[in-house]
Chains A and B, each alone.
Chain A
């Protein structure tokens, strides 16, 4: 490996490039608008302000850049940033929790309690994993529209609950589970649901934690599907609102300070959780990548 020591020097230069957008977002969130539009840009906020989050001088619609609404004061049809934030948290938590529990139960039944036809069900899951999900979006959009779910939480939640790649992941983890454990519990008279809940699930905790991460990251960042089924402020998710604000950037550079504040708030939970649970994130995202 000694050959590669000389390679390291230029590669070090990539580290600041990797962190650049986060740094720029973090300092941009605290720069006053006038400073953000200065050229050349300041590398550290000269007059740090929290007005991009909450502006006490805000007084309705105005052209004065000093009186723009902070990100927490931004309102779309009467719904504010915290509403979009809560929507994203709701979608992430519900989809992750329900899809993991459902997939774990299905994987348990298919591997340890097979019934006639269960092999075919598993093959169908495998087959569906080979197709890109874009194939399903047109029909799923039609289905959701026919159910009258456009602009509802159901549209954001229900189609994402049955995840084949999570079943596949749990099946791999389940194979190492000793059969004796299940048969012992069966002799004790426990039903499938009970064995799964009180024997299998506790043993599967590491697998649950690992696969929860890519699922949650995917839901938190979900963009195309929400873009199709939601355009009403009440059910808008965080990426959609930030995306709208980013789209207006070229017409309204003043809004960039507020956008950086919003981007920071949206990225922060993932960054903080990642720094705490580094190892779990890395293993988990490697596992989730097999979803193809």
Chain B
């Protein structure tokens, strides 16, 4: 009996071994290796040389890295705040099951499905700095001089935030609709009997009950926007500078890509990846502290 059980365990273990072999090579080993590489000087040609915290010190002394960190934080903050507030407003406005509202939600959800390079190319064309871009045509219609949306650093963040909000809004909307529907209807009925105003109902029923959803939406949104890469890369990156005009579109992952794969400074790039990880851990911890564990789901 025991022998047979061992045989079964062995067979079952063999069945899952290809998966775990791949997982070990491409999922576990790289984590350990990048942690080690982050403490080394490594340029792909010679063996890694241990330099302690040298890469981390270099990162925080590098003005470009600090620019990337600041840009990423600003982008994350704007996208999160706007997309959470707008997403909630949209869920309250278009949350019903009527065909019209469902069609509206489909329109908002489209970028979550088809928000790839094709759609970003269209945004790039819309924001073109030339007079024939639609944005500049609208400015011309208002009597304003054309703006260099893709070439003037002061426009970089607004353009990126617009596209960032555009891409996550529908997702937030759908999650908020689910969250709103989970609030028991009788709470509202009881409040109406007590004569509570719609505003009071929102403040004292909707918001408190929506807290876990709010926490979930803002945390996942912050994590995703902190890892932003291809939108700034495609819209602002050029051959000579990946970070766009005056590095105004330089994000953390762009910096990692630039140092790691264009300059083959793989030790430094590994350190940058771990700084990114620590920031994400910090954000998660903060979110749990502010909203409580039930928000983490």
Q: Do the two chains bind?
A: yes
When the two chains form their complex, are residues B123 and A275 in contact, meaning their CB atoms are under 8 A apart? no
B274 at the interface (CB under 8 A from A): yes
Partner of A136, one of B15, B26, B137, B197: B26
Closest residue of B by beta carbon distance from A145: B44
Q: For residue A47, give the distance in angstroms from its CB to the closest CB of chain B.
A: 16
Quick one: which of A144-172 are within 8 Å of B by CB?
A: 158-159, 161-162, 164
Q: Count of A-B contacts with CB under 8 A?
A: 281
When the two chains form their complex, are residues B234 and A246 in contact, meaning their CB atoms are under 8 A apart? yes
B119 at the interface (CB under 8 A from A): yes
Closest residue of B by beta carbon distance from A15: B107
Which one of A50-58, A59-67, A198-206, A263-271 is at the interface? A263-271
When the two chains form their complex, are residues B30 and A140 in contact, meaning their CB atoms are under 8 A apart? yes
When the two chains form their complex, are residues A274 and B26 in contact, meaning their CB atoms are under 8 A apart? no
A3 at the interface (CB under 8 A from B): yes
Partner of B234, one of A36, A41, A243, A253: A243
Q: For residue B167, give the distance in angstroms from its CB to the closest CB of chain A.
A: 10
When the two chains form their complex, are residues B94 and A8 in contact, meaning their CB atoms are under 8 A apart? yes
Partner of B171, one of A25, A289, A292: A289
SS class of chain B's interface: helix, strand, loop or mixed? helix
The interface residues of chain A lying within 8 Å CB-to-CB of B25 are: 143
The interface residues of chain A lying within 8 Å CB-to-CB of B79 are: none
Residues of A within 8 A of B (CB): 1-5, 7-8, 11, 14-15, 17-22, 24-25, 28, 36-41, 102-103, 105-106, 109-110, 113, 115-116, 121, 124-125, 128, 131-132, 134-143, 158-159, 161-162, 164, 191-193, 217, 220-221, 223-224, 227-228, 238-239, 242-243, 245-247, 249-250, 253, 256, 259-260, 262-264, 266-267, 270-271, 273-275, 278, 281-282, 285-286, 289, 292
Can you offer 18 A-B residue contacts whose CB atoms are under 8 A? Answer: A3-B197, A4-B93, A7-B93, A11-B93, A21-B126, A25-B122, A25-B125, A39-B137, A135-B30, A161-B19, A164-B27, A223-B230, A239-B116, A250-B129, A266-B116, A266-B118, A271-B113, A281-B113
Residues of B within 8 A of A (CB): 8-9, 11-13, 15-16, 18-20, 22-23, 25-31, 33-34, 37, 44, 86, 89-90, 92-94, 102, 104-126, 128-132, 134, 136-137, 140-141, 150, 166, 169-171, 174-175, 178, 197-199, 201-202, 220, 223, 227, 229-230, 233-234, 237-239, 253, 256-257, 260-261, 266, 269-270, 273-274, 276-277, 280
